[in-house]
Amino acid sequence: MRILLAEDDRIIADGLQRSLRKAGYAVDCVANGVDADTALVSQQFDLLILDLGLPKLSGIEVLRRLRARKKALPVLILTAQDGLEDRVRGLDAGADDYMSKPFALPELEARVRALTRRGTGTPTRIEFGNLSYDRSDRQVKIAGQTVILSARELGLLEILLLRAGRLVNKEHLVDHLCGWGEEVSTNAIEVYVHRLRKKLDASGITIATVRGLGYCLEKPADISVAADTQEPDGGH
């Protein structure tokens, strides 16, 4: 899940970014409305967290432009505590939800989960072989057993699952796994892939390396046939 955070208050932006990243989201930050608008035109996000009081271009205007482009992207607006009028204008302009500052991070995270669950057409639950991944509660199960993954491993798995069976190049992984300004080398990606491979071991699902290009998530060709052959003879 990739979130665009448009907030000019450095302290709020840093705190939000840190906690959302910890929760496994890739977060990109912009500090003014023009940069927010540019990012929304040129890139794909799963959620926009939008401060209404932004320099250069107001949050309301960013939102109006977004909706004018017929984008269904979920939008959570941040408003001043006494900003009833702002709130109304924001919701009228097409925001999905709002939070008044100051807010408690756990509450914001809960709203983010609810909004990303509604989503933009990506399925909430992804099944691949005997692995299932629920994007709403970020639970991964292999054959019904919960697997514990770090936030980064989870992010990586999600990207690979959304493109299962297809090549995912390293550039795409770097883009979607990390927000801007966050240094991540391709070496680090290799380490996450290595760890994730180990955790997927029991599933028979493999992360194939496509030399020089990237990775591809693959499941055993026919898990059901393999399971059948393991049954004792004369099963029924």
Q: How far is the CB of 7 from Ca ion (least distance, A)?
A: 7
**Cα separation of 191 and 55, whole Å?**
40
**Cα separation of 3 and 155, whole Å?**
12
**Cα separation of 196 and 201, whole Å?**
9
Q: How far is the CB of 80 from Ca ion (least distance, A)?
A: 8
In this complex, which beta carbon is closest to Ca ion, that of residue 57 or of residue 126?
A: 57
Q: How far is the CB of 68 from Ca ion (least distance, A)?
A: 23
DSSP string of 120-160, one letter each residue: SS--SEEEETTEEEETTTTEEEETTEEE---HHHHHHHHHH
In this complex, which beta carbon is closest to Ca ion, that of residue 3 or of residue 54?
A: 54
In this complex, which beta carbon is closest to Ca ion, that of residue 83 or of residue 129?
A: 83
Contact positions vs Ca ion (CB under 5 A): 8, 51, 53
**Cα separation of 34 and 103, whole Å?**
25
Q: How far is the CB of 52 from Ca ion (least distance, A)?
A: 7
120 to 14, 55, 93, 116, 182: CA distances (angstroms):
26, 28, 18, 8, 26
Q: Nearest-CB residue to Ca ion?
A: 53
Q: How far is the CB of 58 from Ca ion (least distance, A)?
A: 10
In this complex, which beta carbon is closest to Ca ion, that of residue 16 or of residue 173?
A: 16
In this complex, which beta carbon is closest to Ca ion, that of residue 9 or of residue 218?
A: 9
